[in-house]
Amino acid sequence: MRKLMLAVVLVVACSKEGTPVGASSGSGSAAPGSSAIAGSANAAGSASAAGSAGSAATSSEAFDKALVELEGYRAKMCACTDTKCTEAVHTEFKAWRTGLKSKLIGQRPSKDQDQRGNGIDRAMRECRSKIEGATAGSGTPTVSGDPIEAALVELAGFKGKMCQCADKACSDKVQEEYKAWSRALRAKVAEKPNDVQKEKGNVIEKAMKECRKKVEAGTPGTPDSGGKIDAMLVKMEGFRARICACKDKACGGAVEKELETWITAAAKELADAKPSKDQDAKADKLAAEMKACSSKLK
């Protein structure tokens, strides 16, 4: 029997949708720790190991100079007192980063230079977030070109919609919209949230999950996730019994096809369910038994 018949139900029950901003996930961003002078969403771009254009000394000097310039942008950002200033510095920084990227193609910073760049870049982001957070808290509207900040606003919107739901049908609809948004966000946003932004995203996503859980618990006839998984295990036992009763591959193939159809439906139903250790072990055992019976068919 194909492997997906053995694993999908467990994976579906255990897996979580990627978090685009907080944990996430993804939330949809460059790898954490990539500085403004190296990495996938930074000034140096994805430097290849191509050729030996320029000496190692020249390359090192270029990155040392870039670090001095980057420190200058950090100092300017941290001296800001409002979002008008942070936006101006950020716009200037992005133009500098674009120019630097074209200059340093094919060159790599040393490990020490990359770490220094990470630290400066992180400090600059933290200063920007603090200024924008303080301005937002004072009731003054902010204008942010940061895609992560924009994503946090959109994420908060999904949380608001979820917490306004009165039944499972509504929460399911919002959840589907949220997952589609998350996938799109991961595809279009190349920047990584800083630590402050990650924490904001985590808090919003946690609140949204709690609202969804309350809505589903209060919807008549809605089983809890444990009940859903128990029902799934009963179904699995039925398929296990049928496959193990087969005498040939034709019979086994027919049951497998039916099982695959059921798994597709179960994947949607159990998207947010999390099995207990015992449930997980039982599902593993059933899957192994089905595989053993299927492998004997000729």
The residues spanned by each domain of the chain are 3-14+224-296, 56-137, 147-217
CA distance 65 to 37: 11
What's the start-to-end Cα distance of the chain, in Å?
Answer: 12
Q: How far is CA 97 from CA 77, 100, 201, 244, 296, in A?
A: 15, 5, 26, 63, 62
d(CA 86, CA 74): 10
The rounded distance, in Å, linking the Cα atoms of 218 and 208 is: 16
The amino acid at residue 66 is A
Tokens standing for residue 40: 């996938």
What are the pLDDT tens digits along the chain (298 aa)? Answer: 333 333 344 433 333 344 444 444 433 333 333 456 654 334 333 333 334 444 555 678 888 888 889 988 998 889 888 888 888 898 999 899 888 888 887 788 888 888 888 889 888 888 888 877 665 444 444 444 678 888 888 898 888 889 988 888 888 899 999 998 988 888 888 788 888 888 888 999 999 999 988 887 766 555 555 577 778 888 888 888 998 999 998 898 888 888 888 887 777 676 666 677 787 788 888 888 888 898 888 8
Tell me the HSE value of 294 on the side-chain side, using a 13 A CA sphere.
20
3-class secondary structure, 173: helix
Count, residues in the chain: 298
With contact defined as beta carbons under 8 Å apart, do 6 and 263 qualify?
Answer: no
Residue 204: predicted pLDDT: 92
Token pair in block for residue 122: 């992180």
| Joined tokens for residue 243 | 């496959």
Token pair belonging to 38: 């190296």
Residue type at 59 in one-letter notation: S
What percent of the residues of the chain are helix, what percent strand, and what percent coil, each to the nearest 5?
70, 0, 30
Cα separation of 127 and 104, whole Å? 27
Stated as kind and residue range, the H or E segment containing 115 is helix 111-137
pTM: 0.34
The alpha-carbon radius of gyration of the chain (Å, integer) is 26
| CA separation for the pair 106, 91 (Å, rounded) | 25
